[in-house]
Amino acid sequence: MAEDRRTRRSRRALGAALVELVLERGFTALTVEDITERADVARATFYAHFRDKEDLFARVTADLLTELGERLAPAVADSAVGFTGKPVLEMLRHAREERDLYRIVLRGEGDGKPLQMFVDACARATAEEFRARAERNAVKPRIDPELLARVWVGEQLAVLRWWVEQDAPSLPAEEVVRMLLDLAMRGRYWASGFEPPA
């Protein structure tokens, strides 16, 4: 008796309706009635489950993040060196499956706070990872790790966003990850086709 079937049905329908509609018209343009209508649910029922539409949105994205976290955990444990390998690949795969939701979140829809939080968390973790790695290998960073972390996160995010927004994905996930790895190792100058400088 974990949960009443009706409850589950309503919640699911409302979540799905939200995603559809945000994609069609954008979050701010939506009214609660739009959502309940699409979900084929009474407006009163909406308020029985969620405080307002931002609440619904918050829960939907929170679920997505939890799911992502669960899928990422083993990949992170595997890849001792850093994040750029398996974890990113795993994220791209997740993004492929949940494409609609990823698009919405990455567009910063719904005041964009879930996205900001996620980015900041990533950036902090990454900066820490960079520092730890430098320590471990007894090397001195040539660039402020804080800045470097922002660059890294911004980069991954930009690629993810671009990849998810394409109508027909021009590159498979594996290919994208390979390019990102090359880029990290050898720099953008090399990537453009030039020989590395002296």
Does 33 interact with DNA (rule: CB under 7 A)? Answer: yes
When asked if residue 133 is in the footprint of a second copy (CB under 8 A), the reply is yes
| Closer residue to a second copy in complex, CB, 41/101 | 101
Q: Does 140 bind a second copy (CB under 8 A)?
A: yes
DSSP letters of the chain?
--S-HHHHHHHHHHHHHHHHHHHHH-STT--HHHHHHHHT--HHHHHHH-SSHHHHHHHHHHHHHHHHHHHHHHHHHH--S-STTHHHHHHHHHHHHTHHHHHHHHTT-GGGHHHHHHHHHHHHHHHHHHHHHHHHTT---SS-HHHHHHHHHHHHHHHHHHHHH-SS-SS-HHHHHHHHHHHHHHHHHHHTTPPPP-
Q: Which is nearer to DNA, 63 or 165 (CB)?
A: 63
Q: Of 17-25, 41-49, 90-98, 130-138, which part binds a second copy (CB under 8 A)?
A: 130-138
**Among positions 107, 118, 125, 169, the unique one binding a second copy when judged by CB under 8 A:** 107
The one among 74, 116, 124, 172 contacting a second copy by CB under 8 A = 116
State the Cα–Cα distance between residues 108 and 102, nearest whole angstrom.
10
- Interface mask toward a second copy for 2-41; x: CB under 8 A: ------------------------xxx-------------
Give the shortest CB-164-to-a second copy separation in angstroms: 11
- Of 129-168, which residues contact DNA (CB under 7 A)? none
Nearer to DNA among residue 60 and residue 153 (C-beta)? 60
Q: Does 57 bind DNA (CB under 7 A)?
A: no
